[in-house]
Amino acid sequence: MADLINQITIFLEHLLTVFGYPGMFVVQVLENVFTPIPSEPLLPLAGMMASQGKINLLAIWAVAVAGSTTGSLILYLVGKRGGEPAVRALIRRWGKYTGMNEGMLDYTLKLFKQYGGWMVFFGRFLPVVRPTMSIVSGMSKLPLKIFIPCTALSTGFAIALYMGLGYILGENWRSILDIIRQYEPLIIVGAIIVGTVVVSYMIWKVLKIREVRRSAEVND
């Protein structure tokens, strides 16, 4: 299995080098639908290429976020249209190819019932629930106006982290993977803390804007 993952990684690196932005979009879509496909090596590579002026960092980040969100949306629609019985049947039949199993589905459902839409954002940083979070969101009929922004925000943050490190380390971008494997628990905790701060600030900002608008309407 490890050899297969390495071969896939080499192929993905070649895909990005040859096809650039479209290659990144396709890989991010596939990585979200078929979670065994590793996109992590691709993101710091993109950062390194941006540091060399071969691609634009902001543009490749936006393309990666769009691709990842699209892949998540596909799973969301599968969950919403199929419902729990169909999803369970699909996982039993194809789960080994998509990196999902019923235990993961049950655990994600439990967390989703407890925390609702918050899990769409934070689930991105939790390896156990990440593969099934989008499909559970669809099964639970979470509104798209909540699902898409939360997915894009969490995805954008995670991708920015990988690409930013690749941009800084340049030719040494491969060492990022070893660092992340070694300190993954700390990175996950840090990402959750930062994510909480960012989301809280955005909510506060929205509420503040609404308050100002209401005050203006009252004065009028």
CB neighbour list of residue 54: distance below 8 Å, 6 or more residues apart = none
Average pLDDT, the chain: 77
Selected residue with higher pLDDT from 169 and 193: 169
pLDDT at 30 over 80: yes
Q: Could you tell me the two tokens for 50?
A: 């941006």
Domain ranges of the chain: 2-180, 183-220
Distance between CA 140 and CA 112 in Å, rounded? 8
Selected residue with higher pLDDT from 13 and 199: 13
Considering the chain, what percentage of its residues have pLDDT values greater than 90?
A: 6
pLDDT band at 113 (very low <50, low <70, confident <90, very high): confident
pLDDT band at 52 (very low <50, low <70, confident <90, very high): confident
Question: Within the chain, what is the greatest distance between any pair of CA atoms?
Answer: 68
Distance between CA 82 and CA 105 in Å, rounded? 14
- Give the pLDDT confidence of 68-89 residue by residue, as tens digits: 999 989 989 988 888 888 888 8
CB neighbour list of residue 104: distance below 8 Å, 6 or more residues apart = 128, 129, 131, 132
Distance between CA 71 and CA 59 in Å, rounded? 18
Q: Region 24-44: what's the mean pLDDT?
A: 76
Q: Region 99-121: what's the mean pLDDT?
A: 79
Which of 46-55, 127-136, 191-200: highest mean pLDDT?
46-55
The candidate with the shortest Cα–Cα distance to 73, out of 145, 162, 158, is 145
